[in-house]
Amino acid sequence: MVASEQAVVTGSQLDTLCINTIRTLAIDAVQQANSGHPGAPMGLAPVTYCLWQEFLRYDPEDPKWLNRDRFVLSNGHASMLLYAMLYLTGVREVDKNGDVLKTLAVPLEEIKRFRQLGSRTPGHPESELTTGVETTTGPLGQGVGNSLGIAIASRWLAANFNRPGFEVFDFNVYAMCSDGDLMEGIGGEAASLAGHLKLSNLCWMYDNNHITLDGPADWSFSEDVATRFVGYGWNVTRVADANNLEMLARAFETFHKTTDRPTLIIVDSHIGYGSPHKQDSNAAHGEPLGEEEVRLTKKFYGWPEDAKFLVPEGVREHFRDGIGKRGREERAQWEKMFAGYSEKYPELADELHRMQRREIPDGWDKNLPTFPADAKGIATRESSGKVLNVLAQNIPWLMGGSADLATSNKTNLTGAGDFQPGTYAGRNLHFGIREHVMGASVNGLVVSGIRAFGATFFNFSDYMRASIRLSAMMEIPSIFIFTHDSIGVGEDGPTHQPIEQLASLRAMPNLVVLRPGDANEVVEAWKIIAQLQHQPVALVLTRQNIPTFDRTKFGAASGTAKGAYILADAPGGKPDVILIGTGSEVSLCVEAYEKLKTEGIAARVVSMPSWDIFEQQSSAYKESVLPSSVTARVSVEMAATFGWERYVGLKGRKVGMHRFGASAPLKDLLKFFGFTVDVVLEEAHKAMAEK
């Protein structure tokens, strides 16, 4: 059968026509862009077709429907597979206000602009650019990690919002994954935790194509994946030929019938499937096929060899009558049920509406603590735990957990219950020692409407970096809590003492980094965090106690909202030297300020909990805090000094870390590394001498 725009086909012929349309759109887009990966979309087209057309509960006319099934393309290099589906099924565009438009999310013109500047079809799927992309994927393993968080969200939402006769939530999560996703450590973490939690709403489709970018997969990967996943507590089924729609359907039916564990469907496919010339070619995976190979492949599919971006008559109509009709009917039934639910449970319906729009409840900030002045003070991890618990009482969908460090991170939510296998209503998540997938899971929860946090020691933010970075790209308000933020870790030594992490995270676009200087700055920091809608945050907290400032004597902690503010000032607001600190080092600046005062030197202390927020302020405000006329400046921070030139200038001085830490009691470390009043005073005098 030769495909043409006039072809009239039915049944299995129509299935094949649709599958080959997906394949050839991918081939043509990659060839036109002269960049991309055609092989995976070619091999996986039947799997995706079967899932979307027969099983995925999804209405293309409302891609934000709350109870839609989620499809995550973890092997994001196969992005054209997803873009083709979004086009062929007619997924509508959703604007920044959350309103569904009549325009297509991915029209054919955007497929023709694959991988081009400003297109909605970038090399790897980006959720903030393209409606229908549930989460940004590409770095292998992140998508399956996100799918774990989304599956947790589905179970948690069902446990907390469903009522007798009103099954508001029961959506499933499907993730397409590759050898690379399973080789990456995060994939193992995700699978292990999903199996432990018995998330029977989670299905991974493993593209077992025997090829990696370097060459045959067996050069580096020979494990028995099926046995491994059985060991994780998964149900494992296999489809020996990716083109066998009947076997694929049976595998998805098996997933639907499995109620006590997640499901892995191992699909044996071939990169570039269908081309007799490049069946297992590396070029078919990581490069365009080339004009001659494109023609040969299309000939093999029975496709007009010179046709480009051909969508034969009947293909889009077939999708409209399949997933389109089914999804529309299922959503209509759900909306009818939800209307009754909204009448009977208006408060719950309001919560869901707010969650969808990333809003928080009225009165979210009631009963937040105010901490009295205390020279001995309290660790910011402690004060953060107190604030977090109040916020959790006020925001019912604030939830999260720690990578086996809840006691140290102070993130346990009192009385909120634990999220455990079979008891999914709790808000305390136990990620175990799995920092990588904790970060990805938090992102999955957040894209599902939940305000989620994950916590660990600051040094281990490195394990989470890819997830933090993707949350910033996705413009979602994920919350990452990091304690033990400096050499204040003490005896645990340099392996656990973060040095370069502050500078590293500050360099990341769209991430808010907050390092509060006392307990009341912590309160203000959490006020900022609670109201974020499009930015993730890294909240960086101390292990050791630090003084709580007397706010009748010093500047109000509300200055935290501007990123930096004057904590203590010189008479008349005319300082000879400015001391700038963050976190635990702010109190050191205050001590030095008091000493300088006795020497007759007018100093100013600036607390700078967030560079990012300070940079967003007006030039006039920044000048009022750091007047350009005062070049004598000293920064004090127990971290790498990289970047502080921005605020202290070329003539300024920097008290910080210039090497990794050491294992010793904190008092010995402070003296050894120069975090003393005497050193700050010495540097202040040097800065003034530079004038």
Structure tokens, 232: 């994780």
Distance CA 583, CA 604 (A): 17
> 311 by DSSP, 3-state: which?
coil
Distance CA 360, CA 514 (A): 21
Distances (CA, A) of 217 to 124, 222, 338, 513, 524: 22, 8, 48, 40, 51
Partners of 577 in the beta sheet?
Answer: 603
Distance CA 331, CA 58 (A): 8
Residues 198 and 148 sit within 8 Å (Cβ to Cβ): no
Candidates 398, 395, 341; CA nearest to 168 is 341
Residues 39 and 285 sit within 8 Å (Cβ to Cβ): yes
CB-based burial of residue 628 (10 Å sphere; 0-12 exposed, 13-18 middle, 19+ buried)? exposed
Distance CA 564, CA 625 (A): 8
Distances (CA, A) of 420 to 191, 425, 427, 428, 435: 15, 9, 10, 9, 18
Q: Which long-range contacts (CB under 8 A, 24 or more apart) does 334-337 make?
A: 334/65, 334/67, 337/166, 337/167, 337/168
Residues 689 and 634 sit within 8 Å (Cβ to Cβ): no
Structure letter (DSSP) for residue 433: S
Residues 154 and 167 sit within 8 Å (Cβ to Cβ): no
Annotate 523-552 with DSSP letters as a single string: HHHHHHHHH-SS--EEEE--SS-EEEP-TT
Of 110, 126, 189, 435, the catalytic one is 435
Residues 62 and 331 sit within 8 Å (Cβ to Cβ): yes
Candidates 196, 192, 147; CA nearest to 174 is 147
At which residue do the structure tokens 């006590």 appear? 260
Distance CA 254, CA 250 (A): 6
Candidates 26, 22, 30, 78; CA nearest to 288 is 30
Structure tokens, 191: 């699978």
Q: Find the angle CA(230)-CA(236)-CA(238) to the nearest 5 degrees.
A: 140
> 377 by DSSP, 3-state: which?
strand
Distance CA 653, CA 448 (A): 46
**What's the distance, CA 206 to chain centroid?**
22
Distances (CA, A) of 501 to 461, 481, 675: 8, 13, 19
Distance CA 226, CA 232 (A): 10
At which residue do the structure tokens 């995550």 appear? 72
Catalytic annotation on 313? no
Distances (CA, A) of 582 to 139, 260, 442: 33, 49, 27
At which residue do the structure tokens 């808010």 appear? 512
Look at strands 70-73 and 577-581 and give their pairing.
unpaired
Amino acid sitting at position 305:
E
Distance CA 328, CA 59 (A): 5
Distance CA 578, CA 643 (A): 17
What residues are labeled active site? 435
